[in-house]
Amino acid sequence: MDFKLFITTFGLVFLAELGDKTQLATLCLSANNNSKISVFIGSAFALIVSSLLAVLFGAGLSRLLPPNYIQIGAGIFFIIIGTWMLISITKIA
């Protein structure tokens, strides 16, 4: 196991999830329910499964495309989604 990659991945995912809508939804579920362990296990399992899907999809995609194409595509995707969200918010306001 690549320990440096493990720590880097943990740090990036941990920081990306802080204040994320997923964390806020988990906070609300925990505040509204008595079974905190059920909320913790459910949210942890959801993150594990979504991460597994990302790893499997990334591994499959890397067989078809070079990594730099995947990074460029992901960057373009984020720009499109960010622009779409900004346009949506300005329409609401």
Reply yes or no on whether the pLDDT at 92 is more than 80: no
What is the crossing angle of helices 36-64 and 67-92, to 10°? Answer: 130
Reply yes or no on whether the pLDDT at 91 is more than 80: no
CB-based contact 39:30 (threshold 8 Å): yes
Q: Is 56 helix (H, G, I), strand (E, B) or coil?
A: helix
Output the six-digit token pair for 65. 């495309």
Looking at residue 93, what is its pLDDT? 60
Per-residue model confidence as pLDDT tens digits over 11-38: 988 888 887 888 888 999 999 999 999 9
The DSSP-derived string for 1-36 is --HHHHHHHHHHHHHHHTT-HHHHHHHHHHHH-S-H
Per-residue model confidence as pLDDT tens digits over 55-86: 999 999 999 999 999 999 999 998 999 899 88
